[in-house]
Amino acid sequence: MLSNHLITQGFALNSAKERLTELTKQNQELELAVMQGESYDQVSGHIAALGMVAAGDVEYLEVKSSGVAMR
């Protein structure tokens, strides 16, 4: 009885190790895909496709009063 139980656990352990290897490889591939998607070339291509342009000179408004508008 004990040997059958050990054999079954051995198969389960080997299966789990194989699954871990598969998931590790899949994780590495997904991380690579994310890095490629975040690359400058990819981002700049999406920016151009959306018709976005670089911002010019930025000006800020200075608020002189600390008043609050109410209805």
Tens-digit pLDDT profile for residues 35-44? 988 898 888 8
Question: Residue 70: its pLDDT value, please?
Answer: 75
Burial class (CB in 10 A: 0-12, 13-18, 19+), 44: exposed
Residue ranges of the domains in the chain? Answer: 24-52
Q: What is the pLDDT of residues 14-30, one digit of tens each?
A: 999 999 999 999 999 99
Q: Report the C-alpha gap between 23 and 21 in whole angstroms.
A: 6
Q: Is the pTM of this model over 0.85?
A: no
Secondary structure class of 67 (helix, strand, coil): coil
Please give the DSSP secondary-structure letter assigned to residue 37: H
Chain center to CA of 20: 20
